Amino acid sequence: MKYRLFPKLFILCAALLIAWLPPGSTQAAKAEQSVPATTSDTSRLTLMRNILFVRLTKGFYEIQEIFMFQNRGKKTIVSKHGSPTLRLVLPRSNNIRRPDAELSAPLQGVRRKNVRLSGAEVNITEPIPPGIKLVGLFYRLADEFGGIVVDRPIAYGTSSF
């Protein structure tokens, strides 16, 4: 008998609390905090770490890269007129027949609709909130007898890089 009293007491207290709140007060509180400050300035965005995992399979080098970006600002970085918030460049090798890298899986950490491929460039228009953003890039390069030499540019459109 004494255990059945607790749920009824809880429901009564919850009903009194809801009746005590003025109408629309919870909706007004949500509206005040739902609009974050934004900017298209990427100067506060830095690449903290870039980790590469390379695995040799039959005929290919499979590369997994993890990028750790940090938005050191207080505003969310957003794309302006389709300009990228992040820009990555796929490497080229000295393989004569197949020098270009090819993506082997979708990018991780970003929505597919915010990713555009333009030749060897991967342009990402995903909003970047303050803090750390991890992006995973998976691609492969064709192997050649004796190994390959890879030219891997870091194209990053910020003044801090």
Domain presence at residue 100: yes
Is 25 in the same domain as 81?
no
Write out pLDDT tens, residues 81-130. Answer: 889 999 988 888 888 788 888 889 999 999 999 999 988 889 999 999 99
Is 140 in the same domain as 82?
yes
Counting the structural domains of the chain, the total is 2
Give the domain range for residue 84.
38-151
Give DSSP secondary structure letters for 16-55: HHHHHSPTTHHHHHHHHHS---EE---TTEEEEEEEEEEE
pTM (whole model) above 0.85: no
Is 130 in the same domain as 72?
yes
The CATH number for 61's domain is 2.60.40
Band (pLDDT 50/70/90 cuts) for residue 148 is confident
